[in-house]
Every structure is written in C-alpha cells, then in structure tokens.
Structure 1
Amino acid sequence: MSKKIDNAIGLYLDGIRDGDTTAIERYTGDRYTQHNTHVKDGKAGFSEFFKEFVVRNPKRDIQVIRSFEDGNMVFLHVYQSLNDGAAKWVTLDFFDTDNDDKLIEHWDVISEFNESNYGGHSSIDGGFRVIDLDRTNENKALIRSMIRDLYIDRTGMDSLEKYVSIDQFIQHTPNSADGIQAHRSFLKDPECPLHYKEVVLCVGSGNYVATLSKATWHGDEHAQADLFRIENGKVVEHWDASEKIPPKHEWLNAGKF
C-alpha cells in the first residue's frame, strides 16, 4: 500500500473512527481544501466538525472497503455504521495529495447504506482485486465516453453493449436489478429521474474507475459518485452514491466541487 493511500485511510480510521482529531496534522499538507459542504476548510475545520461528530456518535464502525491511487489522487470506498447501526452510510471519497503524499483536498459523496437491492447486492459487497494496470487510461477513457453518451447526452441508448457487458452486469445501486436489460430500461425510461451534467473527477487503477459528477435527481442538484469494474473493455460491476447538494447559503466552504 502506498504512502498516499496510507494517509487517506489513516485520516479516516485515526481521525474519525478512533476520534483522534489531531490526526489531521499527521496526514495533511500545508492546506486542506474541503468540499464536504458541512465542514469548513482547513485543518481547524476538520477538527471542529469531528470533535462534535464523535460526541454525537460514540460508537463508530468504519471500514475502508476499496482503495486505489491514480497519480496524485486517492480513491476510497467506505462503510460507516454509527451507534450500533442506528445510522449506516456508504461514502465514495476522492483525495488530492502533494509531493510528500500528504492530503491537500477532499471531495466526497455520502448515501444511506442499502442492505439489498433487487439483485440481492448491498451498497458495498463484491470483491476487490486490481488487475490490468496497463489498461488504466483505456478504461478511464471508456468510462468518460460512456457517461457522456449514455448519461449526459443520452444519445447512445441503442449502443449500450458498446460499454456494458451483455454476459454480466452486477448492480449495487439501491432499487436496481442486475443485467444489461435492466439498466437499459432504467436509462430509456422517459421519467428517469437521474441526469448527469458534467464529470468533475475521473480516477482509475487498472480494472477500476471512479468518477465524481454533477447531476440532478428529480431536478434537484446532486453530487453523483460512481465506481465501475471493467473486464475486457466492458463494465461488469457498478457501485455508486448520490447526495443532494444543500442550498448555497448553507455551505461552510466553496462548494461540493
């Protein structure tokens, strides 16, 4: 595991799970720009928010399920169970790092954890094995193209097979079923509530690619994060999280993106 991944996981586990808010000093660089709109910028903003967080949530089970790096960027897929399961969350996190591998910027999307969808999959289950490192850039380009054609322009509905495997498509999104036909039906529904507007971040490692996008859900502004697993140039598995963006007057920093 690399130092930059160690730093991202360390901040989560030491600073949030274990309640040591001084961990922000160990794992971050000269600046710490925050895009979680409920948390102020900087190290002081992190400490202020999580000092109250650990008091409100004395029991914190936090598990990093998946992690990878792409250049200076780190991606984490995290499960949180608070106060013996009173609240359960799934988070997709993106970190930028400096030349010393310290964290300098953070984006996240948080959704309620879902135990089982129509295919019997939770928000986080499934394996994790990074392969095909030589295809990282190819797979990132595939996902950018897929999101543009299918989710932004919505012009590629009849060529879904160009991007998604016809043999296997494991879906972890709540209220969704496995398979390419179920995904086609969702996308072609004229009342489909989810509309992507722009890909903000795209990071990958081999057969995994994660994106952060601006989107709307039933017309409301959302942050949408997606994690894709790719085999032989086709998407075979998908996890995600979607979070409604609060009104601008409620932001404690420059915003979600």
Structure 2
Amino acid sequence: MTTAKQNAISLYLDGIQNGNPRAAVAAYTGDRYTQHSTGVSDGADGFIAFFEPFINRNPVRDFQVVRTLQEGRHVFVQVYQNLNHGQAEWLTTDFFASDENGKIIEHWDVIAPIKPVNPSGRSQFDGPTEVTDLDKTAQNKALVVDFINVCLIGRDMDRFRDFISSDSYVEHNADRGDGIESAYAFFAADDTPLTYQECFLAVAEGNFVATLNRASWAGQDLCQVDVFRVEDGLIVEHWDNSEDVPPKSEWANSGKF
C-alpha cells in the first residue's frame, strides 16, 4: 500500500476510531492541513478541536474502510461508520491530497446517514472492492469524466448508452434499482431534481473512478460523490453519496470545494 493511501486510512482509524486525534494529525498530516468539511477549521488544531468532543460523545466507534483508491497525490476513501452500537450509521466518502512525502495536506468529504437497501436489495457500499486493470486507469478515468461532462452536465442524453453498459449495470443508489433504464429515466427526465455543474475532482485507480462534483437537488447546492466501476470500456456499477452545502455563514473554513 502506498504511503499516501496508508496515511489517509491511518488518519481515520488511528485518529478517530482509536481515539488518538492529536497523535494522528501529527503523524499523518504535512506542513498544512486544509479542510473542506465545513464544520471543521483548518489545520491540526481544527482537527483536534472537532474530533476530541466527537470521540467523547461517541465512545463506541466501529469504522470499516470499504474502498480506497490512489492516483498520484490524491486518495479516495469510502468508509462505513457505526457509532454507539448502531445509534448512528454514516457513509463517509473522503478525498485527500498529499505532499511529496505522502503526508495529508488537504481534505474534502461528503457525509450522510446510511439509507435502507435499494429496490434491487443493494446497500450503499456493498459489491466488489478489488482494484484491477491498473493499465486502464487513465482510459477509465477519461470515460467517467466524459460521461459526467457530456451527459450529466451537458445533458446530451443521446450519448448515455455510449458510457453505460446496457447488458449489466449494477446500482447502489438507495432509490434506484439495477439496469440502465432506471438510471436513464431518472437523469433524462426534464424535471430531474439532481443536476450537475462541475466535476471538481476525480481519482482513478484501475477499474474504479471516484468523482467529487458540484451539483444541486431541486435548487439546493450539493456536494455529490459518485463512484464508478468500469469494465471493458463501459460503466457497469455505481455508488453515490451526497450532502447539502450549508450557508456560507456556517462554514468554519473556505467551503466544500
């Protein structure tokens, strides 16, 4: 495992799950730690000030790192969190930037409560986790970014089937089932509530591509994460997570992006 990926995971598991925020932020972050989780201030002090009370409020913490990707200095981590024996369950999707030594220097996230399984019986995080096809990383990333730009931002729905498999498309969104027709019906509708404005960041490794997007739901600004699995040049599986962007007056830092 690469240093940056390990540092991102360790910041989670050692710093939060194991209750060592001071030691973790000292060990795994670099000369700066720019924060985009809007309730947390920048820097080591901001991390400590947020997570020490969090740890006290939640003495039982069970985190499962489900998927991790690294491309260059960027890392993506998808984590299931169970707090206080199920009193709260969260899906967190995090992007990190690292310095030349693999230390974490910037963080973006989307955090939302776990939802029930979708019409196809799939959860928001189950399914394949193994990274394969490392030689196709750039090709797969280009496919996914093009899909977002052409279909979700540009609204050219005639191209939808150029990117998504018509034979096998597995869906983990809590409200939609498997199959391309369900996804197409949702996104192609003139009154679809979910619209995309920018693919802000994409991190790819082999057959997986994770994207952080500016979006909106019925006019409410969203920070939207979409994770795709690609096979034979087409998208065959999708996970997502979204969080409202709060008013600027509530930000403790420069904002979600």
Contact 2:60 2:83 in 1 (8 A): yes
Residues 223-234 of structure 1 aligned to structure 2 (within 5 Å): 223-234=223-234
Matched with 2:42 is 41
Matched with 1:182 is 182
> 2: CA distance between counterparts of 1:213 and 1:181?
23
Shift in Å, 1:128: 1.1
Residues 116-135 of structure 1 aligned to structure 2 (within 5 Å): 116-135=117-136
Contact 2:171 2:238 in 1 (8 A): yes
Residues 172-211 of structure 1 aligned to structure 2 (within 5 Å): 172-211=172-211
> 2: CA distance between counterparts of 1:180 and 1:108?
28
2:154 aligned with 1:153: yes
Matched with 2:90 is 89
Shift in Å, 1:68: 1.6
Q: Structure 1: 5+ residue runs without aligned partners?
A: none
Shift in Å, 1:115: 3.4
Contact 2:150 2:159 in 1 (8 A): no
- Letter of the structure 2 residue corresponding to residue 197 of structure 1: Q
> 1: CA distance between counterparts of 2:116 and 2:126?
9
Matched with 1:77 is 78
> 2: CA distance between counterparts of 1:144 and 1:188?
18
> 2: CA distance between counterparts of 1:189 and 1:15?
43
How big is each residue's C-alpha offset from its partner over 1:226-247, in whole Å with a ceiling of 9 and x where there is no partner? 1100001100000110000110
- Letter of the structure 2 residue corresponding to residue 165 of structure 1: S
Shift in Å, 1:189: 1.9
> 2: CA distance between counterparts of 1:71 and 1:21?
26
Shift in Å, 1:181: 0.6
Matched with 2:115 is 114
Q: Structure 2: 5+ residue runs without aligned partners?
A: none
Shift in Å, 1:190: 2.0
| Aligned residue pairs, count | 256
How big is each residue's C-alpha offset from its partner over 1:111-153, in whole Å with a ceiling of 9 and x where there is no partner? 2212300111001000111111111111111111100111111
> 2: CA distance between counterparts of 1:106 and 1:10?
14
TM-score, with length taken from structure 1: 0.98
How big is each residue's C-alpha offset from its partner over 1:39-87, in whole Å with a ceiling of 9 and x where there is no partner? 0000000000000101111111111001121001111011101111111
2:7 aligned with 1:4: no
How big is each residue's C-alpha offset from its partner over 1:156-193, in whole Å with a ceiling of 9 and x where there is no partner? x1232100001111111111110001111111222211
> 2: CA distance between counterparts of 1:153 and 1:35?
27
TM-score, with length taken from structure 2: 0.98
Task: Look up the SS of the partner of 1:168 in the other structure.
Answer: coil
Query: Which range moved further: 102-111 or 128-137?
Result: 128-137
- Letter of the structure 2 residue corresponding to residue 182 of structure 1: S
Residues 239-250 of structure 1 aligned to structure 2 (within 5 Å): 239-250=239-250
Task: Look up the SS of the partner of 1:58 in the other structure.
Answer: coil
> 1: CA distance between counterparts of 2:86 and 2:203?
31
Task: Please provide the CA RMSD for this pair.
Answer: 0.8
